[in-house]
Chain A
Amino acid sequence: MRGKSSYLWVIAIIVAITLKSALFIVSEGKQAVILQFGKPVGKPITEAGLHYKQPFIQSVRLMEKRILNWDGIPNEFPTKDKKLITVDTTARWRIKDALKLIQKVRDQRGAMSRLTTILDAATRNVISNYNLVEAVRNSNEIFERVAAKKAAIEKAKKEGRLNEADILGEEIFGEIEQVHVGREALSKKIVSLAKDSLKELGIELIDVQLRRISYHPSVEAKVYQRMISERMRIAKKIRSLGKGEQARIYGKTEQDHLRIKSEAYRKVQEILGEAESERTKIYAEAYGKDEDFFELYKTLESYKDAFRDDTKIILSSDSEFLKFLRGKLK
């Protein structure tokens, strides 16, 4: 009895082990290649789920089906206009043909190192064939922005007093050239250069992104210097403009002040002059009617006004006024 049970047990265990060797699971996002004695057989299995293979003879290599990342080490390249820049690229890729990949580069790590070689070369190729501005800018939008700003300034000028210093602040410095290709297109060029040779390795290159472009430290210092001197120049210009405007206003103040004063003076003299002449006319008209009478009348009035109370007056005895007194005096 005992012997029979253990026999059954052994069979059961063998069956279990065989089953385990014949079945395998491919997870979502993975693909599998079946190897027989180290060599791949059949097509890669890309469907997730439970699959079977020949037990023991065949083994399974699981590989990624998902989009993978490649990250390049930042490298220095000179651009076409001889500017030395550090370029940091990344790429997204996929294992499109797992069989080819295994044959050509053995595994994912091998793929990564080939990606590095091919993409570095492609990047160098593209960067060195274009000016720096093509790798930085994507479009000529910047010109539109500048044009819009200029239009806004013109409008403000028409509407009111515009601070010339504001215009200065809007001035564009640095180099603005036209781009003909642009950043996006450059990335695509790198892809198109590398795509085919990568396809040979079973790799599908999805895209290359210029994650970072920066000045090489030796160049960076010069750029900063340029930025600094530009700003200092603007600052100086603003200050002198300010002083000029200030002087202009002070000058205008003086001028207007004098003008107002002198015009007022002129006007006053005019008014008084007119009044004088009018007055003269009135008197002449009235008094002219009888000059003799006027003389008498006006002189008598003057006597009243001219002599003060404490005047010491000496009258001659033959004054007209004393006529009757004289009569008595004999």
Chain B
Amino acid sequence: MGIDSKTPEDYQRMAEELFSRFFRGPKGTMFLILLAVIFLGGINSFYTVQPEEEAVVLFFGRYDRTEPPGLHFKIPFVERVIKKKTKIIFEEGFGFYSKGVSENPAISRSRYRRIEEERLMLTGDLNVAQVEWVVQYQISDPRKFLFNTAHPVQNIRDISQATMRRVVGDRTVDDVIRGLDIAQEAKVLTQKVLDKYDMGIRIVSVQIKTAVPPEPVKPSFNEVNAAKQEQEQAINEAEAHYNEIIPKAKGEADKAISEARGRAAAMINEAKGDAVRFMKVLNEYKKAPSITRKRLYLETMKELLSRFKDITIVDSSVKGVLPVFTDNRLKGLKNK
């Protein structure tokens, strides 16, 4: 019989024979069980730790070691591996649903959360403010995270809220709206309290998303801002007006004074000039008074009479003078 002459039925028969030889009876059953155990054990002795994870290994329930990312062995059945994402920064939102990753989304997305109530808080002056904020955290020690507290994420949520309220409660509502160093104080305080529980959590940051007056009160707060704006505007207008008028007035005043000064100088110079001229002439006159008198008189008359176009000489003994019409005046009359 050749190989190719074996039929599927022949193989089946061979397998059955093999099976019956090894796996029949009590010995066979034990062998089967052993095989199964070895197989399962084999599968259970490898595990992979992702780059953002760390793995905590328990030996018969007792903590044995923490393994970094990579491929690792464990003793099957006896050792148990729990993986935790330690490199990821998780986020919890307060007053709103954060879009970030939560370590425990069941709590973050729980419909038992009362979002509106999360945001409203009392301020130090017993007013009310609305604050939304985000806390970012990381697992710093997976062992502590797993085995020190039963509900670490709930703790983070509870403490964050209590802390933020405490920080806000020490400030006035105006301070809160302005956001003065609230986040930093909240972060430090939250970390301090969580450290008390030795939770293996590191708070990465606390960020205030919004800090505003509550809805019913918002319009009145805006009113204050609007009033401040109006007031500033009114004052600016008045100042602009001042700056427009006063410098101009000053300029005009300066101009008037300069002009007056100019005129004054001119007046004095004119007077001085006249005086000097008079003095000079007077000196000459003093040297030859009657000659000078006559000369001045004749010069003046010459200039005057040469200027006049219309001169009439009338005898002194004539009484009553009629206006005498010259050719010019006749011409003038005719043209009218």
Q: Mark B264-280, 1 if CB is under 8 A from A, else 0.
A: 11011011101110110
Interface contact B158-A257, CB-CB below 8 Å: no
Known contacts A69-B151, A209-B158; decide if A252 and B165 are in contact (CB<8 Å): no
- Are A313 and B173 in contact, with the CB atoms below 8 A? no
Give the interface SS of chain A, mostly helix, strand, loop or mixed.
Answer: helix
Alpha-carbon distance between A71 and B308 when the two chains are bound, in angstroms: 125
Please, how many angstroms separate the alpha-carbon atoms of A167 and B60 in the complex? 69
Residue of B nearest to A83 (CB): B126
Q: B311 in the interface, Cβ–Cβ < 8 Å? A: yes
A314, B264: Cβ atoms closer than 8 Å:
no
Residues of chain A within 8 A (CB-CB) of B260 are 267-268, 271-272
Q: Mark A1-33, 1 if CB is under 8 A from B, else 0.
A: 000011011000000000000000111111000
A213 to B314, CA, bound (A): 125
Output the nearest chain B residue to A27 by Cβ-Cβ distance.
Answer: B61
B313 contacts across to A, CB distance below 8 A:
314-317, 322
CB–CB A29/B146 < 8 A: yes
Q: Give which listed residue, A241, A242, A283, A296, contacts B275 with CB less than 8 A.
A: A283
For window 126-168 of B, CB contacts with A under 8 Å fall at 126-128, 143, 146-151, 154-155, 158-159, 161-162, 165-166
**A35 in contact (CB, < 8 A):** no
**Which of A66, A245, A276 interacts with B148 by CB under 8 Å?**
A66
The docked-state distance in angstroms from the alpha carbon of A214 to that of B121 is 7
Docked-complex contact B274 and A235, CB < 8 angstroms: no
B223 touches A227 (CB 8 A): no
**Contact pick for B166, options A26, A92, A138, A142, CB 8 Å:** A138
Q: How far is the CA of A232 from the CA of B231 in the complex (A)?
A: 15
On whether the beta carbons of A6 and B279 are closer than 8 Å, the reply is: no
Q: Are A69 and B310 in contact (CB under 8 A)?
A: no
CA distance A229 to B235 in the complex (A): 25
B170–A67 CB distance below 8 A:
no
The listed residue (A29, A231, A268) touching B220 by CB distance below 8 A is: A231
Give the interface size bracket for B toward A: 35 or more
In Å, the complex CA distance between A76 and B70 comes to 54
Q: Contact: A297 with B296, CB < 8 Å?
A: yes
Residues from chain B with a CB closer than 8 A to the CB of A316 are 313-314, 316
Of the listed stretches A53-61, A119-127, A168-176, A190-198, name the one at the interface; the rest are far from the partner chain.
A168-176
Complex Cα spacing A195 to B270, Å: 111
Apart from the given pairs A231-B220, A286-B282, A313-B311, 4 other A-B contacts in the complex at a CB distance below 8 Å: A66-B147, A246-B237, A260-B246, A294-B278
Tally of contacts, chain A with chain B, CB under 8 A = 345
Is A210's CB within 8 Å of the partner chain B? yes
Q: Is the interface of B mostly helix, strand, loop or mixed?
A: helix
In the complex, 23 of the A-B residue pairs with CB atoms within 8 angstroms, ordered by the A residue number, are A5-B25, A8-B26, A25-B60, A48-B62, A90-B162, A163-B235, A170-B174, A174-B172, A212-B121, A232-B220, A236-B227, A239-B231, A243-B231, A246-B238, A249-B241, A263-B253, A264-B254, A268-B256, A282-B271, A286-B275, A290-B285, A310-B310, A314-B321
Judge whether A132 and B126 touch: CB under 8 Å: yes
Interface contact A283-B170, CB-CB below 8 Å = no
A67 engages B26 (CB within 8 Å):
no
B161 near A212 with CB under 8 A, answer: yes
Of B13-21, B37-45, B299-307, the one touching chain A: B299-307
- Across the interface, name the chain B residue whose C-beta is closest to A312: B310
Our pick among A27, A223, A236, A287 for the contact of B128 (Cβ within 8 Å) is A223
**In the complex, are the beta carbons of A183 and B169 less than 8 A apart?**
yes
Question: Which residues of A line the B interface, CB within 8 A?
Answer: 5-6, 8-9, 25-30, 47-50, 64-69, 71, 90, 92, 132-133, 136-139, 141-142, 145-146, 163, 165, 169-170, 172-176, 183-184, 206-207, 209-215, 220, 223-224, 227-232, 234-236, 238-239, 241-243, 245-247, 249-250, 252-253, 256-257, 260-261, 263-265, 267-268, 271-272, 274-276, 278-279, 282-283, 285-287, 289-290, 293-294, 296-297, 300-301, 303-304, 307, 309-318, 320-322
- A224-B214, A271-B264 known; A49+B61 contact, CB < 8 A: yes
The CA of A8 and the CA of B117, in the complex, are separated in Å by 69
State A238–B124 Cα separation when bound (angstroms): 24
